[in-house]
């Protein structure tokens, strides 16, 4: 038997509960993992609460992330005792996921835990932090360097935003953090933000082109915020878009792209190829200040994950929630 956060949908409605399951409930896969830690991302919160149709198969164990130890393997790349990470691949959406004490997945979906990260630190990073690294890599691939100018990070108090600030500041960039929680400006500066601006500067309808303010952007918000971030990007700058906390719409114009040569990169973490994942996790192990990471983290037991999902959607959670599935 193992504990899991199970999502069900039937004639009685949509519900999430922590249940004791037996091994017959493990899905198909060639690697079984004893999970040490999982985490709660924005997508997990949507799945647990049912606020968005993230889960497409019922019943299903929630959790798009986990880190743990290989328990059994029929995959040539993995042996029992090895430490592994999983992010995405439809886990927690169409395949039972990581908010459980055990998980069974395809070995091709796993990445080896890079030293010096622990399983807990890997889940402190989670999909949010891994996505932040993919965004930073997109900006670097565009050719941006610290000398290029400021980097705007929207949704700065969220998981993507917090890790992005810590990464960019350690790499030498001057970071402008946009937040709806001005009372937490000092915490953002401790992460590495040089300047904090109010979310309201970007979240309302704006001009097709605004004053050039930043060379690059990491955006996890979407909607008007993304449109205004693009409008304020410098000539031949770049924007990495990875989220939709404000909305899925993009109420902007082509002006930044055809008049300033701005490039908009879409950053997907769910189906990213394994080589890119391994590169991102190696960079996280090298370039992320783990002391700053600790400031972002609050640990909760599995039994508190359902309530915490509602807190995330209400905007009352700063940084990262690590879930000890064995507590």
Shared domain for 108 and 133, answered yes or no, is no
Of 170, 193, 143, 124, the C-alpha closest to 283 is: 170
Shared domain for 131 and 245, answered yes or no, is yes
3-state DSSP assignment of residue 39: strand
Number of domains in the chain: 2
Q: Is 29 left (phi over 0), alpha (psi -120 to 50) or beta?
A: left
Shared domain for 69 and 140, answered yes or no, is no
Shared domain for 161 and 252, answered yes or no, is yes
Whole-angstrom distance, CA of residue 115 vs CA of residue 125: 14
φ, ψ of residue 282 to 5 degrees: the values are -65, -40
What local confidence, expressed as pLDDT, does residue 50 receive?
93
Of 311, 321, 270, 304, the C-alpha closest to 5 is: 304
Shared domain for 67 and 132, answered yes or no, is no
41, part of any domain? yes
Is pTM beyond 0.85? Reply is yes
User: Residue 212 maps to which CATH number?
Assistant: 3.40.50.720
Shared domain for 95 and 50, answered yes or no, is yes
22, part of any domain? yes
Whole-angstrom distance, CA of residue 220 vs CA of residue 226: 8
Tens digits of residue pLDDT in 230-245: 999 999 999 999 999 9
What local confidence, expressed as pLDDT, does residue 221 receive?
97
Residue span of the structural domain in which 148 resides: 127-266
93, part of any domain? yes
277, part of any domain? no
With a pLDDT cut of 90, the percent of the chain lying above it is 92
Residues with Cβ within 8 Å of 181's Cβ and at least 6 positions away in sequence, in order, are 157, 315, 318
160, part of any domain? yes
Whole-angstrom distance, CA of residue 155 vs CA of residue 136: 15
Shared domain for 27 and 137, answered yes or no, is no
Shared domain for 136 and 233, answered yes or no, is yes
User: Residue 40 maps to which CATH number?
Assistant: 3.90.180.10
Whole-angstrom distance, CA of residue 1 vs CA of residue 228: 51
Q: Which of 221, 251, 266 is the last residue of a domain?
A: 266
Whole-angstrom distance, CA of residue 192 vs CA of residue 327: 32
284, part of any domain? no
Q: Which of 266, 285, 308 is the last residue of a domain?
A: 266
Within a 10 A sphere around the Cβ of 320, how many other Cβ atoms? 26
Shared domain for 72 and 100, answered yes or no, is yes
Q: Which of 266, 283, 304 is the last residue of a domain?
A: 266
Shared domain for 171 and 65, answered yes or no, is no
Average pLDDT over residues 244-252: 95
Average pLDDT over residues 97-113: 98
- CA-atom Rg of the chain in angstroms: 19
Residues forming beta bridges with residue 18, ordered by sequence position? 5
Tens digits of residue pLDDT in 276-296: 999 999 999 999 999 999 988
163, part of any domain? yes
Report yes or no: 52 and 1 within 8 Å, Cβ to Cβ. Answer: no
What local confidence, expressed as pLDDT, does residue 143 receive?
98
286, part of any domain? no
Report yes or no: 99 and 323 within 8 Å, Cβ to Cβ. Answer: yes
Shared domain for 169 and 257, answered yes or no, is yes
How buried is residue 286: exposed, middle or buried, by Cβ count under 10 Å (0-12/13-18/19+)? Answer: exposed
Within a 10 A sphere around the Cβ of 258, how many other Cβ atoms? 9
Examine the pLDDT at 14 and tell me if it is beyond 90.
Answer: yes
What local confidence, expressed as pLDDT, does residue 295 receive?
86
Shared domain for 104 and 47, answered yes or no, is yes
Q: Torsion over CA of 233, 235, 238 and 239, rounded to 10 degrees?
A: 20
């Amino acid at each position: 038997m193992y504990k899991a956060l199970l999502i069900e949908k039937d004639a009685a409605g949509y519900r999430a509960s922590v249940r004791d399951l037996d091994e017959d409930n493990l899905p198909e896969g060639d690697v079984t993992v004893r999970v040490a830690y999982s985490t709660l991302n924005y997508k997990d919160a949507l799945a647990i609460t049912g606020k968005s149709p993230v889960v497409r198969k019922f019943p299903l164990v929630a959790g798009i992330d986990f880190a743990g130890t290989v328990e059994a393997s029929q995959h040539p790349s993995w042996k029992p005792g090895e430490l592994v990470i999983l992010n995405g691949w439809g886990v927690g959406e169409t395949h039972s996921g990581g908010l459980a004490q055990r998980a069974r997945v395809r070995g091709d979906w796993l990445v080896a835990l890079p030293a010096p990260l622990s399983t807990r630190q890997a889940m402190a990073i989670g999909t949010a932090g891994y996505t932040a690294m993919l965004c930073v890599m997109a900006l670097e691939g565009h050719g941006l360097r610290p000398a290029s100018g400021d980097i705007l990070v929207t949704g700065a108090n969220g998981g993507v935003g917090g890790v992005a600030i810590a990464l960019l500041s350690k790499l030498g960039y001057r970071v402008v953090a946009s937040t709806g929680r001005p009372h937490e400006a000092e915490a953002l500066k401790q992460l590495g933000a040089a300047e904090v601006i109010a979310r309201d500067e970007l979240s309302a309808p704006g001009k097709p082109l605004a004053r050039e303010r930043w060379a690059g952007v990491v955006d996890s918000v979407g909607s008007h915020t993304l449109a205004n971030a693009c409008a304020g990007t410098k000539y031949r700058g770049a924007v990495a878009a990875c989220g939709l906390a404000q909305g899925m719409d993009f109420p902007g114009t082509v002006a930044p792209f055809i008049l300033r040569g701005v490039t908009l990169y879409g950053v997907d973490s769910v189906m990213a190829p394994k080589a890119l994942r391994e590169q991102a996790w190696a960079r996280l192990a090298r370039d992320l200040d783990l002391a700053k990471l600790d400031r972002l983290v609050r640990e909760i037991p599995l039994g508190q994950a359902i309530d915490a999902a509602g807190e995330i959607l209400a905007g009352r959670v700063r940084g990262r929630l690590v879930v000890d599935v064995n507590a």
